[in-house]
Amino acid sequence: MNKDTDNQNPEQCCCSHKTKHRTDEEQKALINRLNRIEGQVRGIKGMIEKDAYCTDVLIQVAAVTSALNSFNKELLAAHIKTCVADDIRNGNDETIDELVKILQKLMK
């Protein structure tokens, strides 16, 4: 094994699978948001099962889409402030390319 890579932080690992340590508070907030979104999606499923009117379903789908977009904005902001900023400070400019790619995917 290579001593130089054995002690690396997983975020700085050369492998394609990175991880991100979040505080308990950060993780709880993200999970709570996802749980609310999941509840909204289950609600839409229930509307379909109860033959709800199309526009009522579409309005709820728009609400879920908005909630997911807000989740993405919050996660992206945290990513830029922590992972991206840290990598740039450490001379890992490849993170900029990664950020550009994810922004292109999010803007489709």
d(CA 102, CA 76): 9
Asked if pLDDT for residue 30 goes beyond 50, the answer is yes
pLDDT tens string 44-83 = 999 999 999 999 999 999 999 999 999 999 999 999 999 9
Domain ranges in the chain are: 23-106
Distance of CA 4 to CAs 10, 12, 14, 91, Å?
A: 13, 12, 11, 17
Q: Span 23-106: which CATH code?
A: 1.20.58.1000
| Alpha-helical runs (H) found in 7-93 | 24-49, 54-79, 85-89
